[in-house]
């Protein structure tokens, strides 16, 4: 029960972040008359026919800037996670490479042949 409540709340918050513009448009349409009469910057100039669109644009710009800030913060966190500094262990001991002799090579052909090839006689 507790896990499902947490899962639903996380889904709600993730979808809420993605649909922030939709919520702004919906709030504007539901409160259009109130916004046009009290919150609009151009309410004293009815000849502009703003009807609260200036307020809507201001809110959309604020939401976009907030989204950009969150994106920058998340990119910064991802960048910091990618740059995990680990101490490097230096080993100054000299290791000579192992040289294999031809007789020790597993699939090497012999260097000299003990038998001489003679073509068949007719």
Per-residue pLDDT reduced to its tens digit, 10-32: 787 777 667 778 888 888 889 88
Q: How far is the C-alpha of 99 from the C-alpha of 113, rounded, in Å?
A: 24
Q: Give the per-residue pLDDT at 98.
A: 76
Task: Classify each residue of 34-69 as buried b or exposed e, where b means 16 or more C-beta atoms within 10 Å of its C-beta.
Answer: ebbeeebebbeeeeeebbbbbbbeebeeeeeeeeee
pLDDT at residue 79 is higher than 80: no
Average pLDDT, integer, range 108-118 = 69
**pTM exceeds cut of 0.95:** no
Per the structure block, which two tokens stand in for 94? 């000299």
């Amino acid at each position: 029960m507790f896990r499902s409540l947490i899962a639903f709340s996380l889904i709600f918050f993730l979808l809420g972040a993605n649909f922030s513009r939709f919520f702004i448009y919906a709030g504007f349409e539901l409160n259009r008359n109130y916004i046009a009469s009290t919150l609009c910057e151009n309410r004293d100039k009815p000849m502009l026919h703003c009807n609260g669109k200036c307020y809507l644009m201001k809110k959309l710009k604020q939401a976009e800037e907030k989204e950009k800030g969150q994106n920058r913060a998340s990119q910064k966190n991802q960048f910091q996670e990618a740059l995990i500094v680990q101490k490097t262990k230096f080993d100054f001991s000299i290791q000579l490479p192992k040289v294999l002799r031809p007789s020790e090579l597993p699939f090497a052909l012999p260097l000299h042949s003990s038998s001489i090839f003679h073509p068949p006689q007719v």
